[in-house]
C-alpha cells in the first residue's frame, strides 16, 4: 500500500537489441511523461543518482509519468558499457518504452551532467522529444544549446564552473529557453537540491499547459 506522501515506482525491463536494461518507472496521468537520463557510465552515474531520484520524485508528485534507467553495463543492466552512439541507442530504447507505457507520442527528457550529450543527440534525432531539460550539463559546447528546437530548460548550480554561465545563458536565450541558477549550489547540488525538483516540476507543468 502506498501511503500519503509516498510514490510507488515499479521495476521495468527495457529491451535494447538482444540485451535488457533495468529501469524504474512511475505512473501518472499528466502529459508529457519524463525520461530521466543518468550521467554517462564513465562518470560513474546510474539511475539511483541523487539528482535522478529527486527529479523522479518531483515529477511524480506533480502527476507526470517517469522512467529512469541504467545504461547497458551499469548496475543490473546487461551488456557492456558503451559510449557515444551506444548511449543514444540506450536512451532511444528507454524512450520507446516510456512512450508506449504512457500511451503518447511525445515526451520530455531530463539529463544529468554528461548525459547532456546523450540528450542533445536524442533531441536532434527524434521529434518525439518535445521538451529538453539539462541539469548541471557538462562536456558539451554551450553553442549547442542554442540549436535546440524544442522547449529547453537548463539548470546550473551557482558554484558550478564546468560550463561558462554567460555563454550558457546566451545560448539558452537564443533557443528561447529558460535558464535557472540554483543559489549556493555546486554541480552535485549538495545544497538546495529540492529547488532543482521544484524548477523541473514547474517546467513540466508549463509544458502540459497547466
Q: Are 197 and 57 in contact (CB under 8 A)?
A: yes
* Cα distances (Å, whole numbers) of residue 175 to 53, 114, 210: 28, 20, 22
- Taken in order of first residue, the domains within the chain and their CATH numbers are 10-207 (3.40.50.1820)
Mean pLDDT (the chain) is: 94
Reported confidence tier of residue 45, pLDDT bands at 50, 70, 90 = confident
Reported confidence tier of residue 7, pLDDT bands at 50, 70, 90 = low
Flag whether pLDDT at 2 surpasses 60: no
pLDDT at 44: 83
Flag whether pLDDT at 78 surpasses 80: yes
Average pLDDT over residues 106-121: 97
Average pLDDT over residues 24-53: 94
pLDDT at 3: 40
Amino acid at each position: 500500500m502506498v501511503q500519503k506522501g509516498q510514490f510507488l515506482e515499479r521495476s521495468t525491463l527495457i529491451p535494447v537489441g538482444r540485451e535488457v536494461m533495468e529501469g524504474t518507472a512511475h505512473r501518472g496521468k499528466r502529459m508529457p511523461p519524463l525520461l530521466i537520463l543518468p550521467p554517462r557510465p564513465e562518470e560513474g552515474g546510474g539511475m539511483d543518482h541523487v539528482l535522478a531520484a529527486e527529479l523522479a520524485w518531483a515529477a511524480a508528485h506533480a502527476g507526470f509519468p517517469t522512467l529512469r534507467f541504467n545504461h547497458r553495463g551499469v548496475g543490473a543492466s546487461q551488456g557492456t558499457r558503451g559510449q557515444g552512439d551506444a548511449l543514444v541507442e540506450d536512451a532511444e530504447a528507454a524512450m520507446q518504452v516510456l512512450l508506449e507505457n504512457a500511451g503518447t507520442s511525445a515526451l520530455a527528457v531530463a539529463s544529468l551532467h554528461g548525459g547532456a550529450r546523450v540528450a542533445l543527440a536524442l533531441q536532434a534525432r527524434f521529434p518525439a522529444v518535445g521538451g529538453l531539460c539539462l541539469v548541471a550539463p557538462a562536456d558539451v559546447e554551450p553553442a549547442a544549446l542554442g540549436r535546440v528546437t524544442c522547449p529547453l530548460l537548463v539548470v546550473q548550480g551557482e558554484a558550478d564552473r564546468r560550463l561558462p554561465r554567460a555563454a550558457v545563458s546566451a545560448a539558452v536565450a537564443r533557443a528561447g529557453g529558460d535558464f535557472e541558477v540554483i543559489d549556493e549550489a555546486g554541480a552535485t547540488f549538495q545544497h538546495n537540491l529540492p529547488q532543482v525538483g521544484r524548477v523541473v516540476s514547474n517546467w513540466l507543468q508549463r509544458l502540459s499547459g497547466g
